[in-house]
Amino acid sequence: MSNPAENPSPATVHAYTDGACRGNPGPGGWGVLLRSGDTQKELFGGEGQTTNNRMELTAAIVALESLRRPCRVQLFTDSQYVLKGITEWLPGWKARGWKTAERKPVKNVDLWQRLDQARAAHAVEWVWVRGHNGDAGNEAADALANRGVDSVAGGARR
């Protein structure tokens, strides 16, 4: 596959991602809002027993894996775990064989490895946004994540 930075798509894809969990662990969901030009796509799903961090990671993974060709992507997340993990911690984890600085196994390693692979196909700019603070894309991703929870929790809200 060619390097997306060498052959960028004409438009940047804006990917808004969020995870939600009712109980931690508990039923969880992920949501993705993709926008490029005049095109918009909504994705969501859930798991019956998971954690919020796993759902935040899953949202970012699905956003990138759903793109059919290499793209320039601005990926918006309200998760410091996802942002710091992908931009700061990942190189060290990989260098240490997926161990933390304390030589303990990296939590959610399956998802971190999948996210690392998914991002390799794209030129990704990681952008942190404050959650529940009026950002329309983040609010839409949050609503989709909650639909994902509803899809596995029978629609019951706490």
Is 19 assigned a catalytic role?
A: yes
Give the whole-angstrom CA distance, residue 64 versus residue 14.
Answer: 11
- Known catalytic residue: 6? no
| 56 is annotated as an active-site residue | yes
Q: Which of 18, 28, 46, 148 is flagged as catalytic?
A: 18
Is 110 a known active-site residue? no
Residue 78 a catalytic site member: yes
State the catalytic residue, choosing from 56, 137, 148, 150: 56
Catalytic residue among 46, 78, 148, 150: 78
Residues catalogued as catalytic: 18-19, 56, 78, 132, 142
